[in-house]
């Protein structure tokens, strides 16, 4: 079990907690390979999915995980920028509190929004991605994927490529992979490397050739073409040429390296088709693992003492 109320990020989880989540996720994967892919662990519990920022993939993955654990779920999406986002969040929190639910899964464009909810609510808060801060379940599913393919993570060489400064996936991966003993480096245009990131225990590269040399794991981040404000690189064409992963560049990595991407992919920009669909790619496996990891997190935070068993045949319609 996890000795905490909320899952807000991987930065404050211990190595042991991370391993517990991954082990639980692995067990769920086994359960889900049985004919009835549903367990009663969260029966009678209510989970609210609050998505203030569009993300079909993550929302569906959470909903799937909740349903497979037999939870009652409500999903709420509010996109588009309202002038008083903060007030909306506070009001929403108060309303939810009044409805006596068990857990909230929140996705928000502002870093720290889940922390704000967690401070104000008794229910479990699970961060499904906050601003440029963290996306802990993505980090966990990345860890699970690599562990499945490579076994032990200690000593593995991993590189994360792209807009590190604005990526919550990069931050969660950095915390998670370094905690489990992997050797993590990051690579991107120098405008996309955040201040003092070396202090997190990662090496920084701005030349992709150096960054890929002998690595076991390549994690390619999505380039946000729609990002507002000052452009962080001169053109997509130049980015693709310098940092886009193709078969040629990938030759510098280990021959059995795996390539990950949190999706959705800009094909031909940060990664080309040949690599995205090629033998090294584990991108679809990440999606499957996303459901298992989210089940594990929900189970460990919300289910607590509930049984882990699959439903009996006759129960499947609940």
Partner 1 sequence: MNMAQDEILIRGGRIIDPASGVDMVGDVLVSGGTIWKVGKKINHSRSAKVYDAGGLVVSPGFVDMHAHLREPGREDEETIESGAKAALKGGFTSIVAMPNTDPPIDSEGMVRLVIEKGEGAGAARVFPMAAITKGLKGESISEMAHLREAGAVAFTDDGNPVSNAGTMRRALEYASMLECPVVSHCEETSLTKGGAMNEGAVSTALGLKGIPSVAEEIIVARDILLSGFTGGRLHIAHMSTKESVDLIRRAKKMGTKVTAEATPHHIALTDELLRSYDTNFKMNPPLRKEDDRMALIEGLRDGTIDCIATDHAPHTEIEKDVAFDDAPFGVTGLETALGVLITFLVEAGHLTLEQMVEKLSLSPSKILGLSSGTLRPGAQADITVFDPHLEWTVSPDDFLSKSRNSPFCGMKLAGHAVLVLVSGRALYESSKERMAPRGNQPA
Asked if 4 interacts with partner 1 (CB under 8 A), we say no
CA distances from 65 to 6, 40, 130 (A): 17, 12, 20
Considering only residues 158 to 187 of the shown chain, the ones binding partner 1 according to CB under 8 A are 165, 168, 171
* Closer of 199 and 318 to partner 1 (Cβ): 199
Rounded to a whole number of angstroms, the minimum distance from the CB of residue 78 to partner 1 is 14
Q: Which of 199, 235, 313, 314 binds partner 1 (CB under 8 A)?
A: 199
Q: Which of 35, 80, 151, 229 binds partner 1 (CB under 8 A)?
A: 229
CB 39 within 8 A of CB 310: yes
CA 76 to chain CA centroid, nearest Å: 20
Rounded to a whole number of angstroms, the minimum distance from the CB of residue 200 to partner 1 is 7
Asked if 43 interacts with partner 1 (CB under 8 A), we say no
Strands 124-130 and 157-161: what pairing?
A: unpaired
HSE, side-chain direction, 13 A CA sphere, residue 162? 26
Asked if 107 interacts with partner 1 (CB under 8 A), we say no
Q: Which of 6, 53, 63, 130 binds partner 1 (CB under 8 A)?
A: 130
Q: What is the dihedral of CA 237, 227, 74, 82, to 10 degrees?
A: -150
Asked if 90 interacts with partner 1 (CB under 8 A), we say yes
Asked if 108 interacts with partner 1 (CB under 8 A), we say yes
Q: Which of 67, 85, 150, 203 binds partner 1 (CB under 8 A)?
A: 85
Asked if 194 interacts with partner 1 (CB under 8 A), we say yes
Report which DSSP code applies to 197: G
Instruction: Please choose, out of 60-68, 85-93, 247-255, 290-298, the segment that lies near partner 1 by the rule CB under 8 A.
Output: 85-93
CB 97 within 8 A of CB 122: yes
The position carrying tokens 């309303």 is: 95
Asked if 222 interacts with partner 1 (CB under 8 A), we say no
Describe the chain by its helix, strand, coil percentages, rounded to 5: 40, 15, 40
Pick the closest to residue 262 from 242, 236, 282, 243 (CA basis).
282
Asked if 116 interacts with partner 1 (CB under 8 A), we say yes
DSSP result, 66-91: HHHTT-EEEEEE--S--TTHHHHHHH
Asked if 51 interacts with partner 1 (CB under 8 A), we say no
Asked if 87 interacts with partner 1 (CB under 8 A), we say yes
* Closer of 106 and 296 to partner 1 (Cβ): 106
Q: Which of 33, 196, 313, 317 binds partner 1 (CB under 8 A)?
A: 196
CB 205 within 8 A of CB 159: yes
* Residues in contact with partner 1 by the rule CB under 8 A: 11, 84-87, 89-90, 108, 110-113, 115-116, 130-134, 165, 168, 171, 194-197, 199-200, 229
């Amino acid at each position: 079990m996890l000795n905490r109320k909320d899952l807000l990020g991987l930065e404050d989880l211990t190595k042991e907690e991370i391993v517990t989540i991954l082990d639980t996720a692995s067990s769920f994967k086994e359960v889900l390979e049985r004919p009835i892919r549903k367990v009663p662990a969260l029966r009678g519990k209510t989970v609210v999915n609050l998505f203030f920022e569009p993300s079909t993939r993550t929302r569906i993955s959470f909903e799937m995980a909740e349903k497979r654990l037999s939870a009652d779920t409500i999903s709420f999406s509010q996109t588009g920028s309202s002038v008083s986002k903060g007030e909306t969040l506070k009001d929403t929190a108060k309303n939810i509190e009044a409805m006596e639910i068990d857990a909230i899964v929140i996705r928000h464009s502002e870093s720290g929004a889940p922390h704000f909810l967690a401070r104000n609510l008794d229910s479990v808060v699970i961060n499904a991605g906050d601003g440029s801060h963290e996306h802990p379940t993505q980090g966990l599913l990345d860890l699970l994927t690599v562990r499945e393919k490579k076994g032990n993570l200690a000593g593995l060489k991993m590189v994360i490529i792209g807009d590190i400064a604005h990526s919550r996936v990069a931050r969660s991966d950095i915390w998670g992979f370094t905690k489990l003993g992997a050797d993590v480096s990051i690579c991107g245009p120098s405008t996309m490397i955040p201040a003092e990131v070396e202090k997190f225990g990662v090496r920084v590269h701005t030349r992709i050739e150096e960054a890929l040399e002998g690595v076991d794991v390549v994690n390619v981040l999505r380039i946000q073409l729609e990002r507002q404000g000052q452009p962080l690189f001169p053109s997509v064409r130049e980015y693709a040429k310098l940092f886009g992963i193709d078969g040629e560049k990938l030759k510098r990595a280990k021959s059995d390296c795996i390539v990950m991407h949190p999706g959705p992919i800009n094909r031909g920009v940060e990664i080309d088709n040949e690599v995205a669909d090629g033998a090294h790619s584990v991108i679809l496996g990440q999606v499957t693992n996303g459901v298992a990891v989210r089940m594990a997190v929900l189970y460990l935070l919300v289910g607590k003492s509930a049984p882990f068993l699959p439903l009996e045949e006759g129960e499947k319609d609940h």
